[in-house]
Each structure stands twice: as structure tokens, then as C-alpha cells.
């Protein structure tokens, strides 16, 4: 099963309780970024463009657990940067799983085989290995030859040691449906447990700005990929309605509060993808963010976003509101032909504000614990 039954039940029950309590905004996945430092410099990444002063900062074990205790999301995705560069990562992962939160430890896998012995397999722990396509696609995406082969070897080692292993795959403008489909078939054959697949977000700081997908291209691409024979057998670990959205059949607005993000700067506004400011606490993030100022059609930087971290929470909330639609999408798969849902018009979005340099300067001016 792409998502273990225990997790489906736990997350489903949590989301249902929020729905019954009529909570409009609630977190589903805490995105924990304990460091921005990475051992790769991918062309499509907007996370590592910081001065050394920031790249050397770490969230401590205590700060990570404080974030987990503040935010009730049942799932914690630990990203970065490269989390395996953090010396306290084994303790951080163990302490979070001990709280019965489902941990997805996202890694480019360069250090995975070396560090595997520091972790214990269990129902609350999954490796999420970055793999943006076949050997050629992935090595081009991460700007280094040989990374695909090391990631595949690490996946085999982790599976051999009894771990759950997912891959997370980001697609860019040069993705060819045929090739993506073949890659997903081969990846499923590796015996991995789940696949998370999403179009890339056009990070303004990413070195390569030319290859981010536009929304209509995303919808066409996902129709072509998900419409392939055998696609239903791929262990895709995302909700059926999110896939239906990617295939152009749902008119969703994003739910950035569904994936609140804690970084070395604080709680990031408004979302994992877009850093427009920072709140001092989870409560302040949820209560004081002007959520209506963000989202496709509202803000220029959101124009092409269809990323799971923004829209999966919308799909989950919709699955609870319309279980029959979720059941239909799960049973029949996403519709890959016929008319698409109208897309969001962009003629009233507010222009982008350029705040990055100011935020970095403010963060550098603040003292921080370093590890």
C-alpha cells in the first residue's frame, strides 16, 4: 500500500475531527526544515541561495520538538537543505516518531547508505528519496552525474534493511510524458512503497527560471502520464482528488496553511514554497497571516503553482466534504480526456513583492544558535 493503513486511518480521523469542529484552516503536514545547507546545488532549487551565515544555522533537537509540539499536524516531513547533514537528525526523527507522528525524511540519498544504521525502521518512519526521473532526467535536474545511481543503490539498501521507502519526483518543463511514464513503471518495479509526484514551483531564487511548468502544461502533462496503461498500479502516495486536480478536472484554490513550515528563520509565511515573512510561533502563523493575499489569481508569485504542498490539503478537505467524488476518483482514476475545469484567471493578481534580501538581512542581524 502506497500509504500504510495506520496512517490513512490516523490522518483521515484527524481531518474528519477538524471538519466536524468546523475548523476552516488546519495543518496536515508540518514541513520541518532544520537547515538549508545541502550537498547538491540543483538548478530548480530555491532553498540554498543563502549566505553562509544562514547556511550554517541549524534548528536544534529542542527547537524541532518545540515546533512539532506547537503544530498538531499528524505528518512531519523533514526537508531542507539536506537533512542528513544535520548531526542530530537521528535523535530528531526518533523523538518525533516516539510522539506517534508519521515522519517522512526527505533526502537526496548521497549520505543515505552511510547513515542508514543511525535509524530504525518502523511504522511511523519513511525515507523519501528525491528522484526527478530516470538517470538522464535526474542527473540533469540535480546538476551532477552519478546521483541517480547512488540514489537507486541507497533505495535498495534501505529496503533491504526493512525501511519503508518512497520517492519524491518533481517535474519540469522538459518532462516528456512517455519518458516520465516509463520512469514511474521502472521505479514501481524497484519495490518502493510510494511515489509523490508534483510539478515544480517557480522559486524566484532558482538559478534556472526557464524550465518551470505553466499550469496548462501541467494539466496536459499529467493527463498524458496518468492516462498510460498500467498507471493505476503505480504506488502513488497522493490523494485521488489531488491527481484529478493535476489532470485538470478540479477547480481548486490552494490551502497553504495545510503544510505549515518551520525553518531556521521561524514559521514561514505563507507556505513551504514562498517565503514572504516569518511568524514567531505556529499560532501567530495561523492567526495573523493574511491568507487572502496569496494563491493563484491573487498573487503573481503564485501564478503557476500546483504543488502538492499547496493543494493536497485542499484535496483532502474536499474528500471529506465530497466522499463520493473521492471514491469515484480513487476507483476510476483521474479523468484523462474530455473538457477540463476552467482555470483561475490571472488578471487581478497583485504584483510580486521582492522581500528576499530584506528578510535575509534581518535574519543575519539576529543572533542564532549554531550547531
Where on the chain is the footprint of ligand SF4 (CB under 6 A)? 254, 256, 270-271, 273-274, 294-296, 302, 305, 307, 310
- Nearest in space to 70 (alpha carbons), one of 289, 291, 260: 260
Q: Judge contact between 76 and 68, C-beta under 8 A.
A: yes
Question: Which residue sits closest to ligand SF4, CB atoms considered?
Answer: 310
Burial class (CB in 10 A: 0-12, 13-18, 19+), 19: middle
Q: Select 252 or 282, whichever has its Cβ closest to ligand SF4.
A: 252
Q: Select 183 or 257, whichever has its Cβ closest to ligand SF4.
A: 257
Q: Select 187 or 198, whichever has its Cβ closest to ligand SF4.
A: 198
For residues 55 and 48, give the distance between their C-alpha atoms in angstroms, rounded to a whole number.
7
Q: Select 272 or 282, whichever has its Cβ closest to ligand SF4.
A: 272
Minimum distance, C-beta of residue 255 to ligand SF4, in the bound complex (Å): 8
Q: Judge contact between 274 and 294, C-beta under 8 A.
A: yes
Minimum distance, C-beta of residue 157 to ligand SF4, in the bound complex (Å): 34
What does the block give as the cell for 88?
542530530
Q: Select 266 or 270, whichever has its Cβ closest to ligand SF4.
A: 270
Minimum distance, C-beta of residue 205 to ligand SF4, in the bound complex (Å): 13
CB atoms within 10 A of CB 182: 14
Minimum distance, C-beta of residue 169 to ligand SF4, in the bound complex (Å): 18
What does the block give as the cell for 191?
519495490
Minimum distance, C-beta of residue 254 to ligand SF4, in the bound complex (Å): 3
Q: Select 85 or 317, whichever has its Cβ closest to ligand SF4.
A: 317
Minimum distance, C-beta of residue 204 to ligand SF4, in the bound complex (Å): 11
Query: What are the start-end ranges of the H helices in the chain?
Result: 5-20, 52-55, 61-70, 89-98, 112-115, 135-142, 147-160, 177-189, 215-226, 240-246, 282-288, 308-321, 323-332, 356-365
Amino acid at each position: 500500500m502506497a500509504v500504510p493503513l495506520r496512517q490513512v486511518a490516523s490522518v483521515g480521523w484527524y481531518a474528519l475531527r477538524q471538519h466536524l469542529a468546523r475548523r476552516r484552516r488546519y495543518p496536515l503536514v508540518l514541513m520541518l526544515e532544520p537547515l538549508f545547507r545541502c550537498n547538491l546545488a540543483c538548478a530548480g532549487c530555491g532553498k540554498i541561495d543563502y549566505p553562509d551565515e544562514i547556511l550554517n544555522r541549524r534548528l536544534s533537537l529542542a527547537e524541532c520538538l518545540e515546533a512539532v509540539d506547537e503544530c498538531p499536524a499528524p505528518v512531519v516531513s523533514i526537508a531542507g537543505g539536506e537533512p542528513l547533514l544535520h548531526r542530530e537528525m537521528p535523535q530528531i526523527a526518533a523523538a518525533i516518531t516516539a510522539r506517534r507522528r508519521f515522519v517522512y525524511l526527505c533526502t537526496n540519498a548521497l549520505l543515505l547508505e552511510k547513515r542508514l544504521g543511525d535509524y530504525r525502521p518502523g511504522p511511523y518512519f519513511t525515507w523519501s528519496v528525491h528522484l526527478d526521473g530516470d538517470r538522464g532526467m535526474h542527473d540533469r535536474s540535480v546538476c551532477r552525474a552519478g546521483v541517480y545511481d547512488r540514489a537507486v543503490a541507497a533505495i535498495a539498501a534501505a529496503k533491504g534493511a526493512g525501511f519503508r521507502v518512497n520517492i519524491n519526483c518533481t517535474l519540469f518543463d522538459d518532462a516528456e510524458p512517455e519518458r516520465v511514464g516509463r520512469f514511474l513503471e521502472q521505479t514501481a518495479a524497484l519495490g518502493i512503497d510510494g511515489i509523490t509526484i508534483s510539478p515544480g514551483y517557480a522559486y524566484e531564487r532558482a538559478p534556472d527560471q526557464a524550465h518551470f511548468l505553466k499550469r496548462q502544461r501541467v494539466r496536459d502533462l499529467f493527463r498524458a502520464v496518468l492516462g498510460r496503461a498500467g498507471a493505476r498500479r503505480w504506488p502513488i502516495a497522493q490523494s485521488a482528488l489531488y491527481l484529478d486536480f493535476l489532470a485538470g478536472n478540479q477547480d481548486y484554490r490552494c490551502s497553504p496553511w495545510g503544510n505549515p513550515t518551520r525553518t531556521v528563520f521561524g514559521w514561514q509565511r505563507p507556505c513551504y514554497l514562498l517565503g514572504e515573512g516569518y511568524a514567531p510561533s505556529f499560532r501567530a502563523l495561523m492567526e495573523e497571516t493574511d491568507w487572502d493575499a496569496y494563491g493563484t489569481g491573487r498573487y503573481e508569485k503564485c501564478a503557476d503553482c500546483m504543488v502538492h504542498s499547496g493543494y493536497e490539503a485542499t484535496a483532502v478537505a474536499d474528500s471529506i466534504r465530497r466522499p463520493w467524488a473521492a471514491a469515484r476518483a480513487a476507483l476510476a482514476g483521474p479523468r484523462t480526456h474530455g473538457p477540463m475545469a476552467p482555470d483561475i484567471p490571472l488578471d487581478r493578481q497583485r504584483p510580486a513583492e521582492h522581500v528576499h534580501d530584506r528578510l535575509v538581512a534581518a535574519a543575519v542581524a539576529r543572533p542564532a544558535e549554531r550547531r
